[in-house]
Amino acid sequence: MVRQPSINAQNRPPLSIERIIEAALHIVDGQGLGRLTMRRLGDALEVEAMAIYHHLPRGKEQLLDGLVAHVAAAPADERGAAGWRDALRRWSVSYRERLLAHAGVLPLLVTGRNPAALAATTASLREILRRGGIPEAGAAVAAHTLLGYVIGHTALEVRGRAPAEAAEGPVDWDARFTAGLNLVLNAVNPG
């Protein structure tokens, strides 16, 4: 008699850290961070939850670290920038877009978790500033000021898009971000 392997086991791509992170991000984007559980993640991957531990020995902590790395550390897009000032602008715009696209992981970003991921982000900003000839001390301040603004303003947007911004009417958040970005870019690089 020919062996008949179990239906689910055949021709399935093997589990990998990449596929796990991808599936987790999909759950967070679609249902929120609170609904990301190991069991649900296992379901999404058509696997028992416990199989995940074989690839992420540190369990859920490692999973969340991976989400932070995936969202925060990937290089922001600055293609086609006209000079380094424009590169700063494009970098900020595309970094904000990614944060908004994965707003569910924002709470993980403001934790001590995975500090290396954000170090990589600031490093890429400092590289742009270095190209502009900004001295090292000023570049360190400029990078944190700009990144701080982008992250903080995005956080305000996430809260502001929720109902009941009593103080003012509905806000055009894209325009608001751009206006603030202009102020910060001018401050970081006057003249």
In the complex, the residues that contact a second copy under the rule CB under 8 A are: 106-113, 115-116, 118-120, 122-123, 126, 140-142, 144-145, 147-156, 158-168, 171, 176, 179-180, 183-184, 186-188
> What is the closest distance, in whole angstroms, from the C-beta atom of residue 100 to DNA in the complex?
25
- Would you give the end-to-end CA distance of the chain in angstroms? 82
- Contact residue for DNA among 22, 29, 44, 55 (CB under 7 A): 55
Q: Which two tokens stand for residue 144?
A: 């944190």
**Contact at 8 Å (CB) between 110 and 98?**
no
126: partner contacted, choices DNA, a second copy, none (Cβ within 5-8 A by kind): a second copy
Give the residue with the Cβ less far from DNA, 28 or 188.
28
Residue 147 CA to residue 57 CA, distance in Å, equals 32
Q: Which of residues 61-100 bind DNA (CB under 7 A)?
A: 61
Please state, in angstroms and as integers, the Cα–Cα distance from residue 172 to each residue in 156, 160, 175, 183, following that order. 12, 10, 5, 17
The dihedral formed by the CA atoms of 89, 95, 97 and 102, expressed in degrees to the nearest 10: -170
**Contact at 8 Å (CB) between 146 and 125?**
yes
Can residue 17 be called a binding residue for DNA (CB under 7 A)? Answer: no
119: partner contacted, choices DNA, a second copy, none (Cβ within 5-8 A by kind): a second copy
Can residue 47 be called a binding residue for DNA (CB under 7 A)? Answer: yes
Can residue 151 be called a binding residue for DNA (CB under 7 A)? Answer: no
Other Cβ atoms closer than 10 A to 137:
8
Question: Which region among 42-50, 82-90, 107-115, 163-171 touches DNA (by CB under 7 A)?
Answer: 42-50
Can residue 172 be called a binding residue for DNA (CB under 7 A)? Answer: no
Enumerate the H helices of the chain as residue ranges. 17-31, 38-44, 52-55, 59-68, 83-101, 106-109, 115-131, 136-160, 173-188
Give the residue with the Cβ less far from a second copy, 94 or 122.
122
**Contact at 8 Å (CB) between 139 and 129?**
yes
Can residue 48 be called a binding residue for DNA (CB under 7 A)? Answer: yes
167: partner contacted, choices DNA, a second copy, none (Cβ within 5-8 A by kind): a second copy
Residues engaged in binding DNA (CB under 7 A): 5, 8, 14-15, 35-40, 42, 47-51, 53-55, 59-61
